[in-house]
Structures are given as structure tokens and as C-alpha cells.
Amino acid sequence: MPTTILWFRRDLRLSDHPALAAALGRGGAVLPVYIHAPEEEEPWAPGAASRAWLHFSLKALDEALSARGSRLVLRRGPSLEALLELVAESEADAVFWIRRYEPRIIARDTMIKAALRRRGIRAESFSGSLLVEPWTLSTGEGKPYRVFTPFWRAARERLTPESPLPAPSALPAPPRFPQSLSLPELGLLPKPRWDEPFWRLWQPGEPGAQARLREFIEDVLPQYKSSRDRPDQKGTSRLSPHLAFGEISPRQILAAVRASDLGSSVSAAKFLSELGWREFSHHLLYHFPHCAEANLNPRFDAFPWAEPDPASLQRWQQGSTGVPIVDAGMRELWQTGWMHNRVRMLVASFLTKNLRIHWLHGARWFWDTLLDADLANNTQGWQWTAGTGADAAPYIRIFNPVLQAQRFDPEGAYIRRFLPELAGLPKERIHAPWEGMLPRDYPPPMVDLATSRQEALAAFSTIKGRFKDEG
């Protein structure tokens, strides 16, 4: 009887799982495995918040497998060594997995696939994390897309009405399960347990993902287009951590939105375009793998970034810049492991333009503190705001955090939620409290917004000549 090792990675679900379906299609036993090998992902090994989510997601996956007569075997890397040991212990003749698209992971998986096949082991990878594989789309000139709108137009043409795969009701277990580490032995949870408040807000695992999707479609989608930019409202899906860990597939989300009563609405189209930005980010990272560490637009390699002052960077990280909407966002991140997308742009603009600190410093902080940390999304989000990436906001577009807060948090409810020291201020003052007497326990702005904007524009003028051919 054949045995297939099902190698779980960032696909921690049982429904709409093509690798699982293929393993079941072979007949025989299926051996579910997770291998913890963070060193193989350096310099972007999972951050502290991601590791905490992973602990609970693996727990949920093991419970789902146990309910179907199976269990999850946990091992430590190196991945190839662990897989070869498992092949020998289980007499497996195949290893199946869902693809990932980070540069280091692509190189590793290519090596593993070749090594397994040389030993006569069937090794296959499957699509399951994206709607469209990055190598299947190109411009009329045969080049990768660098602008979102034509990319998403082309991607939408490839989307099929194919239904997501159901979760199996049972999984055929091997005659004997190999030895497994316990989940605590992976050491994923922080010490001390600063993450505990997160789990009052989040439910890691496939059931949590499905519940979040239902809640979004019923309660949020009807007003998504008008509320998505309002951090003071319940206006976004909050599916990003579940997507990052593959507890739900983009195809499941697409199918559920299309099948809803609002499937053809403007709000649905706007939400699905956000899935499109995720696809676009992976497209860029796949075709331009250097951009995880360097500017996608090389013209910015000569930009005069400020030498990061550790104290200034720490004030930004801790939400004590003296600019309320920025501080509220950074404290939301620290307290919840997540930040509203509009506010992500504002805190990124403040760091890269008002403080003129290189976007990598922000990207690394987000990587460590975001529950939804995803290399493609994180990289492109930061480069978009910094102006150094594809389809980016021009560097001269510098968000005014006061005007943005007045527009998207008009009553100051979001700021009050995360900055209790400002809760007593009226809405006329809460966005720029320095314009009156500051509360005793809140700092003045660490930079003058108007002056720092002019300094950023002056810095850009030193490399502006590199952009003349674009105008």
C-alpha cells in the first residue's frame, strides 16, 4: 500500500488543499508532517508574533486531523534530512506539498525535489496559495508586470469558476505513525507570554478563518468600499493572518464572495482587488527576488536616507512620536498583532519620509510584530509607500498624518482607543494636540511635519535627475 507524506508549510488547512487531494487520489496512507526549519528562511525567518500564531494554528490543524483518524507529525529541520528520515521510517514512496514563492524557499524546495527524485521518491508540488501562478502572466512584451491595473486585468481573465475542494471526512492513517515532537518542544510561544491578549481577538486555525470569512461577508462587505479606509470602524476583512498561514485559500474567499448576495457589487469588486494586490505582490517577489532586501527601483539606491538614530527608531516602534494617528497605529500593532491598512501607510510614510529612515527598518519591525507577516505583502507595502517599488506612490506624495486622521478618524475614536492619554481631548484638537496645551503624559512631535516634508523633498531632488527619462 503506498504512503504519501503530506508536507504542511503555510497551508495549514484541510479544505481546498490540492496536495492533500492528490495524496488521497493515490490511494493508500497519508502521513501529515510539519517540519520546523526557521534557519532555512533567513534573513526572513518567522518573527515573534508569527511564531505565536503558528503554535495555535498547528494545534488547530492537529485537532482537525485527529477528528479524521490521523495526526500531525512534528519534526525539526533541516527539511531534507527530516523528510528522508520520515521516508525511511514510514516507507513512504511520495512527498507532496503546496508551493511557496519566497526566493529562499523556492531554492530550497527545488533542491529537495531533485534530491528526493534521485532516490526514487515521487516529489510533487501543487498550486494552492495563489489564484494565479506568478510565471503564467506577462505583458505583451513577455515581461513581468510592474503596474497593478493591467496585472489584475490579466489575472482576472485567468480566474475560473471552479469550486474549492471540500475537506475529506477521513484520512487513511499509516500502519504506524513515526515519532513526533510535542508542540511545546518547537518553542514557538514567547517568554514571557506577551501574546496572550491577542487570542481574545483572533482564532488561529481553519475554523477561525471560516468564521472570519462568514462574519466579513455578512457584516462588513455591504459597506466595504466606503468603510475600508476607516480605522475607527469595523470595515475590513481581517483575513490576512489566516491567508498568511494558509488556513484559508484565496480561491475559497473568491468563491464565497462571488456566491454572496453582493457578489457583483462595487464593494465586492473592491475587496477582490485587494486579493489582487496580494497576487501582484507575489508576482513581483517571484520575478524580482532581490526586492525583499533592496529597492525594486534602482534609482533609489543613491537616495540620501538619514542615518537611523536608535532613539528615534524606538520612539516610532513604541508609538511615542507625538503624532497621534502614527502612535495609535504603532500601539495597535503592539497590542493586537495587527494594524489597519490605511494606518500602515501612514506610519510607513512617517518613517520613510518625515524621518527619512530606510524602509527596511520598518519592514523588519513589521515582520517581527505582525501576525499576518508575509514577505511579498510586507516588502511591496513598504516599497509602495517609500516610493521605491513597482506601481509605487511617488516619493513626492508624502501623507500628512493630521489631514489623514481628520479624514479617516474624524471623531478621534481610533486614536482614543489606543492613546488613552489623549481620550479627554475634543475632536478639534485630538489630531494635532500640540496646537494647544499638550497633555502632561504625551510628547510633542519628534519632528515638525512641514519642515520634515521639505527636507524629504530636498533629499529627493538630489536623485531627481535619474527620473527624467520617465517624465
Could you give the residue numbers annotated as active site? 274, 277, 305, 341, 359, 382
Q: Please give the full DSSP string across 416-458, using - where no structure is assigned.
A: HHH-GGGTTS-HHHHT-GGGSPPPTTSPPPSS-HHHHHHHHHH
Cα–Cα dist 201/276, whole Å: 26
| Residue 210 CA, distance from chain mean position | 18
Cα–Cα dist 76/408, whole Å: 46
**What is the CB neighbour count within 10 angstroms for residue 467?**
14
Cα–Cα dist 358/351, whole Å: 8
Distances (CA, A) of 144 to 35, 101, 151, 158, 276: 33, 15, 9, 16, 15
Phi-psi label, residue 306: left if phi above 0, alpha if psi -120 to 50, beta otherwise: beta
Cα–Cα dist 347/340, whole Å: 11
Cα–Cα dist 343/324, whole Å: 11
Cα–Cα dist 381/403, whole Å: 21
Residues in the chain: 471
